[in-house]
Amino acid sequence: MVANSMARPDSPSVARVPLGDGNGVDNIYPVQFSTSPTEGTLGMIITPITDPRDGREYAMVSQLAPMSAAAEKGVTLGSIIKKVNEVDVSQEPHESVMETLRQLQPGPFTMMLEVPGPLAKYLQDAAQQCLVRKDIGPRPPRTRAQWGSKYLVLGGLLGNSNALQLYESEQHYNEIILAFERSFPIPKEQIPKTYELGPKFKLGPVAEKVYIDDVKGSSKEVRVTYFWLKSPMSKLRSLKIGSLSDPSIIKGLHAQVIVARRAWVSISRGNGE
């Protein structure tokens, strides 16, 4: 599959040369691949994303495999596909773009991409280092020390768009991606906890919890923005996801979870308890 494809960097890199848009803004660039998706893999995920301003769907580069051909050739995360060889796909929905890629003849091809714009923020919301806590009920932990930390990825290279994965860190995520790309076995204990989000998951609103930290003898307010998520396979426990640094991180991730629950699809992993 092109949308979930990986590639080894076995071909020389092609310099990225911005073409410009005629208004002094260099925002279009070409990337040439040595083989077509019908022969191998590209090392990136291309997913649909809808512009909330006009409802139009685009094909966007949402993930890049470390050390892949796409990464080495300068493909930028969040880029929109504009052309495939001489075929203009800038106004085409995601599935039409993917069909164009599937129909390519064997051999080199060129892809024209547009550098990330406002839509790229949606990708940032879908992969974040967050505070996490799983226990009974929807309430957050009583103390800040009871929160743990995980790197959350919604979708990505190892799951469909509704797969919420909990990694130990961003480094852990990159190590798993690299092992997958090189066909290395992944130890069972390294496989992340994964939730297959669907309409039966219960989702709480974005809320705020204020903690009082004792810093060098003085009290300091610490605010955690969070929401809770409950699997249909869990009777009492819910997963709380929060952030200390930026409320917009949690608001963005919350919006992504809403979309993922609606766009429910089946994947091989089961729901977490």
Domain range spanning residue 79?
Answer: 28-116
Q: What confidence score (pLDDT) does residue 125 get? A: 54
Residues 6+ apart with CB under 8 A from 161: 47, 154, 155, 259, 260, 263, 265
Q: What confidence score (pLDDT) does residue 149 get? A: 96
Number of domains in the chain: 2
The pair of three-digit structure tokens given for residue 158, joined into one six-digit string = 């190892």
Q: What is the DSSP letter of 65?
A: -
> Full-prediction pTM beyond 0.85?
no
Residue 2 in domain: no
Q: What confidence score (pLDDT) does residue 77 get? A: 82
Distances 107 to 40, 55, 149, 159 between C-alpha atoms, Å:
10, 35, 45, 29
Alpha helices in 49-191 (DSSP H): 69-72, 94-102, 121-125, 170-181
Question: The CATH number of the domain where 135 resides is what?
Answer: 2.30.29.30
Q: Give residue 154's Cα distance to chain centre.
A: 5
Q: Which of 82, 98, 116 is the last residue of a domain?
A: 116
Q: Which of 116, 134, 157 is the last residue of a domain?
A: 116
Question: The CATH number of the domain where 80 resides is what?
Answer: 2.30.42.10
Residue 65 in domain: yes
> What single letter denotes the amino acid at residue 223?
R
> What single letter denotes the amino acid at residue 214?
D
If DSSP codes are grouped into helix, strand and coil, which group holds residue 215?
strand
Mean pLDDT per 10-residue run, the chain (273 residues)?
34 33 62 79 78 74 79 87 94 90 89 78 68 95 94 78 89 82 81 90 96 80 95 94 88 84 45 41
